[in-house]
Structure 1
Amino acid sequence: MEIMKFKKWEDNLYLFNYRRTYTEPVEYFHAHEGLELLYIHEGSGKYIIDDRVFSLQPGTLIVIKPFQVHYIRMIVPPIYIRSLLKIKVSFIEQFSALFPQFTSFLSQMLEQKMTVQVFHLSGKHSVQVDSQFLQLHEQIRLGPPNLRKEGVMLFFLNFFMFFQTQIYIPGENAAPAPWTLSRATKQINSILKWIDQHYKTSFTIPFMASELHFSPNYLSKLFKEQIGKTIMEYTNEKRLEEARMLLQLRSHSVEEICKETGFTYTSYFIQMFKKKYGLTPHRYRERLESQRDSLIE
């Protein structure tokens, strides 16, 4: 069994990868404390955030808020190539006095619901985003280590000036009207919304189907075709990611977290958690605490 790897933030402030290539399928629920920029150079798949499913393709930019749970499934082969920057809000706040307008925009974006977080960029904009990520990659690869933090911050400022003026423009990024969505997409979105409202309680597929006015067979088949896994597989992964976040953020006992995330039996919860992450919940929390202690020393 592969033990879960704890990724190390550079200077405990940011994570950056440029054009990382995957040759096997990528599929996971995830949430993290940093603000994330994910750009897809090559590949296709599905992305779920805020009870909505999106198609992914080359030139897709995704902006993910801190602690926002999201699900991604990339189809490989042929190939998946992405660039990624995660940056902690505490890092950004260090420069708030110098850039009040930027700080105001970013605060509003983080505190309020964004109308869109998945952007399919035009050729011109995708070239600009790719170029900005490449420039940061070269600065980090070739520049002196003591300038990396400043390089990341300058990239972040420049990127969000570009993002604010050319990509995320209020009034122009409204969510698509319901009638522009396909019938299957509208149905999947309603299913995802229902799961989000009920995953913390125990439910059955027949009960869910009756609530949504579908037959159980049609409901299960549609979900499997569109999302790539069964309803209960998806729901349990959502529960496990919620549990993982609670283990990081709260001092609740494992038994309390088990109940709060919709699992009926603690032993089953521990078994599922270890199967997915390679560690029991207790061991996962110990590893986190050990990491935090090493940062303080």
Structure 2
Amino acid sequence: MNSEFELIRYNGKLPAQIEIKQGEISTPYHWHKEIELIYVLDGALEINVNNTAQTLHTDEFRLINSVENHRLSADKAKCLILDISYEFATQFDESLYSSVFKVISGSGAEEELHNLLWQLSRTVNESDLPDLRQYSLITEILHVLFVQCRHENPNAVKEGENIQSRHVKLALEYIEQHYREEFTEKSVAELLGIQSVYLSRRFKEATGKSFTEYVLEYRLKRAMDALVNKGMTIEEATKAGGFPSKRTFIAKCKRAYGITPFQLLKQQQSGNAPLMELNFK
């Protein structure tokens, strides 16, 4: 089974991405670091998680754990998708990698999460400080998950040929925590106690990108988020993305997106074009 790695871009000041999908929905098998909750607002949505299919109907939801393979399919549906930053969640417990979240049907946790997701769906079109309300609901959802839905993950310390390799996951976490610093694939491999060639192969298999490509993409994501969503200057965005100089940031952005940060920011502000996919050469 082929599965694509998805790099999630968060909404503004939130430690998460919130989006509404509607109409015909079809995604390839993919995975990401984020904890995902999908709440069906209307219609029927087929979700396939680790080769197990399930159909969700109106007012039902599903939790997908970090790095789980999944895909979505619907002829016509409307759903809320919440992707919560794994890095944000680990701030409350660094041993989260050894756990997995399970929502028991008919439990109090299921009822609480359902209510919170319904409230979150109502904030999407609000104009009165929606980010603040959404932040509050996201932390409430995490609290329910940590307190009522957390279980030991039997795969947490096992090495294997799949995307749940602990070494790859730890490498991803290291990048997210240290992207403003200087490091190499070799130095990260040494920290994990493995050979650089082993990490390189596993990382490419898991993400579809080389270690260097992923680090650049992550830094650009952070820099562009600072520029577009947080109103920072080019100089501030350069630091936010961990680039050594403005010149380097501009050059890397132009190589990845085909245009400079100035041009990309202008397009974003005018609303004429969405942020383009990275195109590494």
Question: Residue 55 of structure 1 corresponds to which residue in structure 2?
Answer: 69
1:64 is aligned with what amino acid? D
- Whether contact under 8 Å (1:38, 1:63) holds in the other structure is no
- List gaps (5 residues or longer) in structure 2: 36-64, 89-119, 273-281
Work out which of the residue numbers 167, 170, 174 in structure 2 matches 1:190: 170
Q: Structure 1 pair 44/258, CA: closer, same or farther in 2 (3 Å)? A: same
Structure-2 separation of matches of 1:278 and 1:191: 28
Are positions 1:35 and 2:18 aligned together?
Answer: yes
Q: Is the 8 A contact 2:34 2:84 kept in 1?
A: no
1: CA distance between counterparts of 2:32 and 2:219? 17
Aligned twin of 1:128: none
Distance 1:253 1:57, change over 3 A: closer
Q: TM-score, normalised by structure 1?
A: 0.51
C-alpha RMSD over aligned residues: 4.2
Q: Give the alignment of 1:76-95 within 5 angstroms.
A: 89=123, 91-92=125-126
The answer on whether the counterparts of 2:203 and 2:211 sit within 8 Å (CA) in structure 1 is: yes
Alpha-carbon separation, structure 2, partners of 1:90 and 1:46 = 24
Q: Percent identity?
A: 23
AA of the residue aligned to 1:30: R
2:124 and 2:71 map into 1 onto residues whose CA distance is 32
Q: CA deviation at 1:179?
A: 2.0
C-alpha distance 290-107 of structure 1, shift in aligned 2 (>3 A):
closer
Q: How does 1:253-268 map to 2 (within 5 A)?
A: 253-268=233-248
Residue 114 of structure 1 is matched in structure 2 by 142
Task: Label 1:203 to 1:90 Cα distance change in 2 as closer, same or farther (>3 A).
Answer: same
CA displacement 1:191-245 (0-9 Å, x = unmatched): 1111111111111122111111111111111111111111111111111111111
Q: Secondary structure at the match of 1:53?
A: coil
The answer to whether the 8 A contact 2:33-2:66 is kept is yes
Q: CA deviation at 1:277?
A: 2.9
Query: 1:29, 1:238 within 8 Å by CA — same for their partners in 2?
Result: no
Task: State the distance in 1 between where 2:72 and 2:231 align.
Answer: 41
- Number of the residue aligned with 2:267: 287
1:64-121 per-residue CA deviation (whole Å, 9 max, x = no partner) reads 369x99xxxxxxxxxxxxxxxx979462466x9xxxxxx99x66432346379xxxxx
The amino acid that maps onto 1:178 is N
1:64 aligned to 2:83? yes
Give distance in 2, aligned partners of 1:32 and 1:56: 22
| 1:243 and 2:219 aligned | no
Residues 31 and 241 of structure 1 are in contact (CA less than 8 Å); yes or no, is this contact kept in structure 2?
Answer: no
Matched letter for residue 204 of structure 2: K
- Residue 202 of structure 1 contacts residue 263 of structure 1 at CA under 8 Å; is this kept in 2? no
Change in CA separation of 1:272 and 1:87 when aligned onto 2, cut-off 3 Å: farther
Q: Deviations over 1:26-57 (max 9, x none)?
A: 95553334722459656312222279422113
Higher RCO by CA contacts (8 Å cutoff, separation 6 or greater): 1
Aligned to 1:221: 201
Greater CA radius of gyration, 1 or 2?
A: 1
The size of the alignment, in residue pairs, is 190
SS at match of 2:259: coil
Q: Residues 228 and 265 of structure 2 are in contact (CA less than 8 Å); yes or no, is this contact kept in structure 1?
A: yes
For 2:106, the equivalent position in structure 1 comes to none
Q: In the alignment, which of 180, 185, 196 is matched to residue 155 of structure 2?
A: 180
* Cα-to-partner distance string for 1:145-195 (whole Å, 9 max, x where unaligned): xxxxxxxxxxxxxxxxxxxxxxx8972x43x52323452412222111111
User: Post-superposition shift, 1:59?
Assistant: 6.4
Are the structure 2 counterparts of residues 195 and 113 from structure 1 closer, same or farther at C-alpha, using a change threshold of 3 Å?
Answer: farther
